[in-house]
Amino acid sequence: MTYPGEQLPFERSDNLAAPIMIVAMQVAYWYRLRCVPLPPQRSNPILSHLFLFLGRLAFIFGGSLFGVVFFRHLPEIHQGADLWLMFRRGLQLVASLFALFCVTLELERLGRTLGGSQ
């Protein structure tokens, strides 16, 4: 935070957890979507609103995350910048946002299922 716009150095321990979490989120989402149908539920408006709220909140969080990364931490492109590292980190950000989008869809789908005919 002291030097905005400067590229952070690469360390092997930096990016071990994030790709594993992204893959786990995607595997769980696509497995549920293909193999586990949501059974019809009795209408529960409170839980329905709670899940719909959490879905919207996750969407807002994703937009904020992108804004912070893009406007605050995007390194200046100069001769010393590692473009391959920037590309990998950008790809990881896009994958994270897509995983968050899938979670948002699932929360909204669950909220609509619990909402019944509302």
Contact by Cβ (8 Å): 114, 55: no
Domain boundaries, the chain: 38-115
pTM for the complete prediction? Answer: 0.74
Rounded-to-integer distance, Cα 117 and Cα 43, Å: 8
- Summarize pLDDT for 87-117 with one digit per residue, the tens: 888 888 889 889 999 999 998 988 888 886 5
Write down the pLDDT at residue 1.
55
- Summarize pLDDT for 9-45 with one digit per residue, the tens: 666 666 678 888 899 999 999 999 999 887 777 888 8
